Amino acid sequence: MSQAASRSTPPAQAPLLTPVVFEAVAGAAASPLPPVRIFLGTEPAQHRAERVFFHSLKKVRDPARRYEVYRMTRLPGFAQGRWRTGFTNFRFAIPDLAGRHGRAIYNDVDEIYLADPAPLFDLPMGEAGYLALTPADTAVMLLDCARMAEVWTLERAQRLGKKTLLELAAEKPGLWAPLPAQWHARDMEYQPGFTACLHYTALNQQPWHPAPEQYSYHPHPLGELWRDLERDADAAGYEIFCAAAPSPAFAGAAARLAAAPRWQLPADVAALAGRPGSVATVGPLDTSPLDGLDVTAFAIDALGDTKADLVAAAHLEQCPADDLPWLIDALFAAAGTAVYLAVAPVAAEQPADTEAWWRARLRTAARRHPGRIWRLDVLDAAGQRTHGWQAGEACRASPTIWRLHGKHAGDNAQIDAFADAVGWPSRLHRLRFSPLSRLPGWLKGASRLGLVGSEPPLGPWPDLVIAAGRRSASVARWIVRQSGGRTRTVLLGRPRAPLSAFDLVVTTPQYGLPVRSNVLHLPAPLALPATADDAMLESWRARWAVLPRPWIGLLVGGDRAPYYLDADAARRLAAAARALAAQHGGSVLATTGPRTTPAAAEALFAALGESAFRHRYVPGQADNPYPALLALADQFIVTGDSASMLGEAAGTGKPLAVFEPPRRRTAAKRLLHWLERHLGLIERGAGSRGTARQQNRLGRCYDGLLAAGIISRDRDLTALRQTLGLVTLPAGPTPPLLDPHLLARAQRAAADRVRELLTAEHPIS
């Protein structure tokens, strides 16, 4: 045994942890099996990840069994100086925390369950003390607490480093045994239908962005799985603690509220209730400015029985941070018209110790309870108001929205699709540009430089502008300036200008933009669905009936930097499609696109063979089979140059494979790509754990240049394919990773975000 472990130190007393319990669901026959015990390593900065972890468990657990989740956070007595996270060594204290008996699962907080963990808890362990992927990768473990108490104790966990603690376990042969791979998939080890526990290990890609001061975040290829769980939790109002089961620390909240200094409601708050109006108050409030209104004070634990036009609360920062989400939601549920809060974030526990946290929670609650106005007054440590925010005033029944069409049909189609998803009437402006419009966005700024004209003319200024591409980006910024800052802007794709210049940038993986608070990453481009009516479908079904099934839809793009499709590539594409059709005894249904060159189309059609349908794209052609192909084909091959085609084919949910076209980069782009790879800005090598190394300082600086619009990366459709979960030929078509319903939910969330722009909080003096 190592010298560090043999020191004589009095045993530490394990703190009492009160579990969050999922009881057997009412009506289910209670399982005779022991409770599933899970110890979760977490910290306040991971509050979003923690909530989604619990929600994922709640969705997949056995309803007949009891689950106990022990939150290991803020444990006393640990020297955390060199830990990467705030819970690194807590896992080694589990044997003592669990009473040195029975089994326990350990999970890091940056994981989600995709299947019930009860089978993991019940796994045969033989003589092993713990199961993990490797002896050193302990982010998911199944422990025999009695056996592991011989090696890992609370006192050692508090005193020793992680490396030493792992060495102590390695000294005992047979103590470790391998964990089945489905219980710990790290990032892209994920396999649909197989993976039961997914671990988001890449710290600069974690979808909940827990440490913006340390990382410049990028989207995780599997981030949509996590975000969809969070959207589901938001819609259901799920919180780890609730009024019926508050946190253990909630018992003293009422006394702390009573002891807080009394806050006088501002006189203008009365207008939020209306007249005659009713007001419910929570906390130490002086309501004398509300003379003439029906005012009733409620205890903090009686919000469920409260109904009033205006609900006002003060000094909720005196409550445990774990309980604030359900308390804020309860305020909105009780309010018929408006919610007022006066809080001092500096006096709150983490993570509620920032103004941004309170605004985010109010937005979440407002989403669940639409139609409420909310106001937040921010107090300093001395209890004095510094400033405030107000949101939710009803926007105009029909806000004025402009669609700025530019040069590219694909960009224009996305603008129209996005406006359609937002659901408000919009006005089309067709912009005409000169070559000056190609100047970089950071040089043009907010200007009409390069704009020749608009049909109809621009003005008077709208409430919202939706644009796409660098040419229209500068014009959109100019419109904002002309409106005095009143117009909101949504930019689709990448602006090649400072991201901060827009209210919202809606982008997709191929552009490689970093995450910012006003940048929304979608898994695939927006597009109006290519729908075919019954008559059209029946017509094409009859025309293709002579061809044997399965029908393999071949969707062909063409030249768009950095990709190109020449005759040689077209012949290779045809050969791959013919081979797939022959393998399955089916037929190829091929259609070209607006960027397919005549030479490529000729080569493709000549090499397809007899059992194939050929269609050459003609602009404006009425008899276009593309919508019918999406609806009727059994599987697809799509060229990897078109993000829109990839997204539309993936949106069908049918098996799909991608043909990788060749790339051609300019000298400047080749140099930039070489530097990106050589400096480790992209494709970072694997570290000791087998996962990609974390972002470094140089990567954060590079992201700053991307966000400022000074550098623009090549379109990289491999990033889009990875997010959608698409295979590349010669692999046979498989269903996309993201099912159509999940893609649709992501796009609806984007439309909701735009609608919120017109009711977003604004500062008040």
What's the average model confidence in pLDDT over 350-372? 94
Residue written as token pair 């993986």 = 509
Q: Write the CA distances from 515 to 226, 230, 500, 509, 511, integer angstroms.
A: 16, 18, 11, 11, 12
* Burial class for 572, CB neighbours closer than 10 Å (0-12, 13-18, 19+): middle
Which pLDDT belongs to residue 384?
Answer: 95
For the chain, the domain total comes to 4
Same domain assignment for residues 540 and 506: no
* Burial class for 19, CB neighbours closer than 10 Å (0-12, 13-18, 19+): middle
Same domain assignment for residues 362 and 429: no
Q: Residue 675: inside a domain, yes or no?
A: no
What's the average model confidence in pLDDT over 743-764? 89
Sequence-distant (6+) residues with CB within 8 A of 710 are 440, 442
The CATH code of the domain that includes 540 is 3.40.50.11350
Find how far residue 319's CA is from the centre of its chain.
Answer: 29
Residue 510 pLDDT more than 50?
Answer: yes
pLDDT band at 760 (very low <50, low <70, confident <90, very high): confident
User: What is the C-alpha to C-alpha distance for residues 504 and 517, in angstroms, rounded to an integer?
Assistant: 9
Residue 1 pLDDT more than 50?
Answer: no
Range with the poorest average pLDDT among 160-164, 542-546, 554-558, 662-666: 662-666
What's the average model confidence in pLDDT over 217-226? 94
Return the structure tokens found at 302. Answer: 């009686």
Same domain assignment for residues 123 and 259: no
pLDDT tens, 405-422? 998 888 898 999 999 999
Which of 391, 425, 459 is the C-terminal boundary of a domain?
391
Residue 3 pLDDT more than 60?
Answer: no
User: What is the C-alpha to C-alpha distance for residues 469 and 255, in angstroms, rounded to an integer?
Assistant: 56
pLDDT tens, 428-438? 999 999 999 98
pTM, rounded to two decimals: 0.91
Same domain assignment for residues 128 and 270: no
What's the average model confidence in pLDDT over 287-293? 87
The CATH code of the domain that includes 76 is 3.90.550.10
Same domain assignment for residues 417 and 377: no
User: What is the C-alpha to C-alpha distance for residues 726 and 737, in angstroms, rounded to an integer?
Assistant: 7
Same domain assignment for residues 358 and 419: no
What's the average model confidence in pLDDT over 292-314? 89
Which pLDDT belongs to residue 213?
Answer: 85
Q: What average pLDDT does the structure give for the chain? A: 91
Q: Residue 562: inside a domain, yes or no?
A: yes
Same domain assignment for residues 542 and 517: no
Sequence-distant (6+) residues with CB within 8 A of 608 are 574, 577, 578, 588, 590, 614
CB of 118 closer than 8 Å to CB of 24: no
Nearest to 206, CA basis, from 93, 108, 282: 108
Same domain assignment for residues 209 and 139: yes
Please tell me which residue, 738 or 194, carries the higher pLDDT value: 194
Which pLDDT belongs to residue 349?
Answer: 95
Q: Residue 723: inside a domain, yes or no?
A: no
In order, the DSSP letters of 62-128 are: -TTS-EEEEEE-S-TT---TT-SSTTTTGGGGHHHHTTT-SEEEEEESSEEESS-SHHHHT---TT-
User: What is the C-alpha to C-alpha distance for residues 706 and 498, in angstroms, rounded to an integer?
Assistant: 8
Angle between helices 740-757 and 355-368 (to 10 degrees): 110
The CATH code of the domain that includes 335 is 3.40.50
Which pLDDT belongs to residue 171?
Answer: 95
Residue 397 pLDDT more than 80?
Answer: no
Kindly report each contact of residues 11-17 with a partner whose C-beta sits within 8 Å and lies 24 or more positions away, as own/partner.
11/153, 11/154, 11/155, 12/77, 12/96, 12/153, 12/154, 12/155, 12/158, 13/154, 14/93, 14/96, 14/97, 14/99, 14/154, 15/75, 15/76, 15/97, 17/70, 17/71, 17/72, 17/97
Nearest to 458, CA basis, from 448, 469, 445, 450: 448
- Beta-bridge partners for 402: 427, 465
Same domain assignment for residues 109 and 163: yes
Which pLDDT belongs to residue 6?
Answer: 46
What's the average model confidence in pLDDT over 532-540? 90
CB of 121 closer than 8 Å to CB of 142: yes
What's the average model confidence in pLDDT over 575-594? 95
Compute the CA torsion angle 253, 256, 262, 268 (nearest 10 deg). -20
Nearest to 316, CA basis, from 352, 360, 266, 365: 352
pLDDT band at 670 (very low <50, low <70, confident <90, very high): confident
CB of 582 closer than 8 Å to CB of 550: no
User: What is the C-alpha to C-alpha distance for residues 764 and 281, in angstroms, rounded to an integer?
Assistant: 22
Residue written as token pair 């130490």 = 284
Angle between helices 643-650 and 717-724 (to 10 degrees): 10
Residue written as token pair 């993991």 = 120
Which of 659, 685, 712 is the C-terminal boundary of a domain?
659
Which pLDDT belongs to residue 392?
Answer: 85
Residue written as token pair 């089979």 = 625
DSSP state of 687: -
Find how far residue 565's CA is from the centre of its chain.
Answer: 34
Range with the poorest average pLDDT among 189-203, 268-282, 559-573: 268-282
Nearest to 148, CA basis, from 77, 97, 78, 74: 97
User: What is the C-alpha to C-alpha distance for residues 725 and 743, in angstroms, rounded to an integer?
Assistant: 12
Give me Rg for the CA atoms of the chain.
Answer: 29
Residue written as token pair 């006088």 = 264
pLDDT tens, 252-265? 898 999 899 999 99
Q: Residue 118: inside a domain, yes or no?
A: yes
Q: Write the CA distances from 658 to 392, 507, 613, integer angstroms.
A: 45, 21, 19
Same domain assignment for residues 304 and 421: no
User: What is the C-alpha to C-alpha distance for residues 459 and 321, in angstroms, rounded to an integer?
Assistant: 48
User: What is the C-alpha to C-alpha distance for residues 506 and 237, in angstroms, rounded to an integer?
Assistant: 26
Q: What are the start-end ranges of the E strands in 237-366?
A: 263-264, 278-282, 285-286, 294-298, 308-314, 335-343
Which pLDDT belongs to residue 276?
Answer: 78
pLDDT tens, 700-752? 898 999 999 998 888 899 999 999 999 999 999 999 988 888 888 998 999 99
Nearest to 458, CA basis, from 484, 477, 440, 431: 431
Same domain assignment for residues 156 and 257: no
Residue 424 pLDDT more than 50?
Answer: yes
Residue 2 pLDDT more than 70?
Answer: no
Return the structure tokens found at 358. Answer: 């309170």
Residue 501 pLDDT more than 60?
Answer: yes
Residue 691 pLDDT more than 90?
Answer: no
Which pLDDT belongs to residue 71?
Answer: 97
Sequence-distant (6+) residues with CB within 8 A of 426 are 401, 402, 403, 419, 466
User: What is the C-alpha to C-alpha distance for residues 744 and 26, in angstroms, rounded to an integer?
Assistant: 33
Return the structure tokens found at 316. Answer: 């909720």
What's the average model confidence in pLDDT over 368-383? 94
pLDDT band at 532 (very low <50, low <70, confident <90, very high): confident
Return the structure tokens found at 605. Answer: 């059609």
User: What is the C-alpha to C-alpha distance for residues 667 and 297, in angstroms, rounded to an integer?
Assistant: 71
Which pLDDT belongs to residue 84?
Answer: 80
Which of 611, 643, 659 is the C-terminal boundary of a domain?
659
How do 308-314 and 278-282 pair as beta strands? Answer: parallel
User: What is the C-alpha to C-alpha distance for residues 270 and 340, in angstroms, rounded to an integer?
Assistant: 10
Residue 762 pLDDT more than 80?
Answer: yes
Which pLDDT belongs to residue 237?
Answer: 93
Same domain assignment for residues 425 and 376: no
Residue 14 pLDDT more than 80?
Answer: no
How do 762-764 and 176-178 pair as beta strands? Answer: unpaired
Q: Residue 398: inside a domain, yes or no?
A: no
Helix (H, G, I), strand (E, B) or coil at 362: helix
pLDDT band at 8 (very low <50, low <70, confident <90, very high): very low
Q: Write the CA distances from 624 to 414, 548, 592, integer angstroms.
A: 20, 21, 10
Range with the poorest average pLDDT among 85-89, 554-558, 602-606, 691-695: 691-695
For residue 139, what are the domain limits? 3-236
Which pLDDT belongs to residue 626?
Answer: 93
